[in-house]
Amino acid sequence: MSCLMNLYETYEANKDFVGKIDYMHSGQSFTLLPVSHTTQTAHIEVAVTEDGSFHTAHVIDKNDRDTIIPCTEDSASRAGAVIAPYPLHDKLSYVAGDFVSYGGKIKDKDHEPFSSYINNLKKWAESPFTTSQVKSIYTYLSKRLLIKDLVAEKILWLDENGQLITKWNDKYKALCGDKKPDIFSSVASGQDSAFVRFTIYSKGKSLQKVWLDKEMYDSFTHFYNEQLSERDLCFVSGQWLPATEKHANKIRNAGDKAKLISANDTSGFTYRGRFNESHEAASISYEVSQKAHNALKWLIRRQARIVDNRVFLVWSIHNDKVINPEDDIYDISHLSAEMEDPSAYTNSEFANQFKKAMDGYRNKLDPNAKVNILILDSATTGRLAILYYRSMQQNVYLQRLADWHSQCVWQHDYRKGKDKQLLAYFGAPATKDIAYAAYGSKASDKVVKGLMERMLPCIVDEKRVPKDIVHSTFYRARNPVAIDRWEWEKTLSIACALINRQEYENNNGRGFTVALDEQNIDRNYLFGRLLAIADVLEHRALKSEDWRLSNATRYMNEFSEHPERTWKTIQSSLVPYQARLGHGGLYLTQLIDDVAAKISYQDFDNQPLTGKFLLGFYSQRHQLYQKKKDADSVTETN
């Protein structure tokens, strides 16, 4: 899995971000965690003076609770009755020496969580890697006075027997000054499970908070590194380093139990047979595991797309935001400032423009940089699988994107611009939109994520677009009766884009343009044009009335199956509209004759039409409306 190696290198290249808090769109904070650290929600903050006595404490405000805390392998994965204290900040039951005397319940009388906590802290405070902060906190906590001090500070509350109130009840109001204390609203499960974090108060110096201090991170990392188990050959880095068998979870989000590397199955013969134990099958060093997982978590929160828990992640080691292959041109132009208005281009101009934009973007990058593309998903709650991994040279990647965006192109007008106006633009549709075009706007996320995964090789490896996707989109696009108008228009332009790409695949790099190709005498294309003219003619005649489906679009599905037979019906239903238009309809009537004349005698039959018929339809309709608009603007200026 050189994927892990690349994640490890990403961590090394972005060390400056360690501990820096950033925010997701949702407002949640995230950071690149230091090695041997994790995040926890703290409820109480205790300030200790430098000489190790109590200073102040307060209940932490809701928006400030996320805390980076040091952790060991055992504490990171502790559960149930296991006693595994975090090294510094932890729950009351671990950090308070007077927990039991205030009625705190512990599972095993002989093994007090506090003694195991304070022994570990002592080791850290006495190690050569210690800092003055650790010593101060250790000095204070070994006095076993925490709850007493917190009660005096009116953070924690006792009932009439001098025991901690476990569950809030209005009858305690009298004891607590006639209102419900903050601690009960911030810790849902009662005072005794409050999480405490410590910091140092100094009169003279302005000290950094303990959990934001880089020196503290390094102090613990070095201290813990000394205690790690024996060395083993790391399958990722190829070096002999302290190994670990416990790997991170919470990769996609805070509630995510799935692990990328796990080995819980000793009976299912996933690795047994040749090997007896999981560490015989593979081993990975603590350092690599920590750094790679931390980098992955950071990247996912920073720039991944998540659809139905499937993670789509594209990144480059050197912290550049990378163009996402799933995006359409609007999202991309967002990234590269050089991209001008993407609406008004034809294929070749567009391709040039796109390349220029890419080049502008490319110049900022290291030419040897690599782009990594990763898809993760889990079939069960406990394990995360790598569904797709690809690492490629940045310029190759950009070239592929440029090819995709100049081959799978058509004119779309379903995107809303900055001012919420529908904007016509020219380019490749986003893979998500392709999914909705192929399976309908109500397609479930499960289907969407599957399609997104299947489209990726088409973009980054120049593979052919799967036929079923093109077909499905085509069948939906030729049936306007079944769906709303806006959805049909969207499906139509996406179908055109896909069919155009198919054309590039079949014809060694020659495709269609939106501009009408009058020289094209392909049967499907011409039939498409005929249908478009009939559609426009009817709408012109109905100008003043409300918009409704024309006969031509109504018969579209049937027409694509039996063009000759259906054309007869459509043409005869056109007669009244032609009559209504009178002389004004002459041009369109002539155009019908022109186009029909181009279809050779033996081609005018009931053979079903292929996708190209949509291209002819779209281009012809586009041209006629374009012409109309030009004529309108001419009259206006007059």
Partner 1 sequence: MKNSYEFVVYGPYALFTDPLTKIGGEKSTYQIPTYQALKGIVESVYWKPTIIHYIDAVRVMNVIRMESKGIRPIEYGGGNTLANYTYLKEPKYIVKGHFEFNMNRPDLESDRNEGKHNSIFQRALKAGGRRDIFLGTRECQGYVEPCSFNEGSGFYDDREEKIYFGTMVHGISYPDETGRNELEVRLWQPVMNKGVIEFIRPEECSEIRKVKEMTSKEFVLADIETADSLLDALEKGAMR
Q: Can you give the binding site for partner 1, defined by CB under 8 A? A: 1-2, 4-6, 232-238, 259, 261-265, 267-271, 274-276, 278, 280-284, 375, 377-380, 383-390, 393, 453, 457, 461, 463
Name the residue nearer to partner 1 (CB basis): 23 or 275: 275
The amino acid present at 588, given as its one-letter code, is: L
Name the residue nearer to partner 1 (CB basis): 407 or 560: 407
CB of 318 to partner 1, least distance (A): 17
List helix spans (H) across 390-478.
Answer: 394-407, 431-439, 445-460, 467-477
Four-residue CA torsion sign, 111, 116, 118, 123: positive
**What are the Cα distances from residue 611, in Å, to 236, 497, 560, 591?**
48, 11, 9, 22
CB of 263 to partner 1, least distance (A): 4
Residue 230: exposed, middle, or buried by beta-carbon count in 10 A (0-12, 13-18, 19+)?
exposed
Tell me which residue of 476, 275, 461 sits closest to 371, measured CA to CA: 461
CB of 319 to partner 1, least distance (A): 20
Name the residue nearer to partner 1 (CB basis): 207 or 263: 263
The amino acid present at 239, given as its one-letter code, is: Q
Name the residue nearer to partner 1 (CB basis): 234 or 408: 234
CB of 283 to partner 1, least distance (A): 7
Name the residue nearer to partner 1 (CB basis): 193 or 237: 237
CB of 393 to partner 1, least distance (A): 6
CB of 270 to partner 1, least distance (A): 4
Name the residue nearer to partner 1 (CB basis): 232 or 328: 232
* CB-based contact 266:272 (threshold 8 Å): yes
Range 399-431 burial, b when 16+ CB lie within 10 A, else e: ebbbbbbbbbbbbbebbeeeeeeebebbbbbbb
Name the residue nearer to partner 1 (CB basis): 61 or 461: 461
The number of CA neighbours under 13 Å toward the Cβ of 391 is 12
3-state secondary structure 501-524: HHHHHHCCCCCCCCCCCCCCCCHH
CB of 383 to partner 1, least distance (A): 5
The amino acid present at 574, given as its one-letter code, is: L
* CB-based contact 458:360 (threshold 8 Å): no
Name the residue nearer to partner 1 (CB basis): 386 or 631: 386
Rg, Å, the chain Cα set: 33
CB of 311 to partner 1, least distance (A): 12
Residue 20: exposed, middle, or buried by beta-carbon count in 10 A (0-12, 13-18, 19+)?
exposed
Question: Other C-beta atoms within 10 Å of 159: how many?
Answer: 15
Helix (H) or strand (E) holding 612: helix 612-637
CB of 374 to partner 1, least distance (A): 11
CB of 228 to partner 1, least distance (A): 18
CB of 315 to partner 1, least distance (A): 16
Name the residue nearer to partner 1 (CB basis): 162 or 238: 238
Question: What DSSP character marks residue 636?
Answer: H
CB of 10 to partner 1, least distance (A): 13
Q: What phi, psi does 486 have (nearest 5°)?
A: -60, -40
CB of 299 to partner 1, least distance (A): 18
CA–CA dist 119, 144 (Å, integer): 13
Name the residue nearer to partner 1 (CB basis): 274 or 543: 274
* DSSP assignments along 8-64, one per residue: HHHHHHTGGGBT--EE-TTS-EE-BPPTTEEEEE--EEEEEETTS-EEEEEEPPGGG
Name the residue nearer to partner 1 (CB basis): 164 or 295: 295
3-state secondary structure 454-470: HHHHHHHCCCCCCHHHH
CA–CA dist 51, 45 (Å, integer): 18
Q: What phi, psi does 371 have (nearest 5°)?
A: -105, 135
CB of 406 to partner 1, least distance (A): 20
Name the residue nearer to partner 1 (CB basis): 261 or 537: 261
Name the residue nearer to partner 1 (CB basis): 1 or 365: 1
**What are the Cα distances from residue 448, in Å, to 380, 410, 452, 480?**
19, 21, 6, 22
Name the residue nearer to partner 1 (CB basis): 254 or 385: 385
* CB-based contact 294:217 (threshold 8 Å): no
Give the pairing of strands 54-59 and 370-377.
unpaired
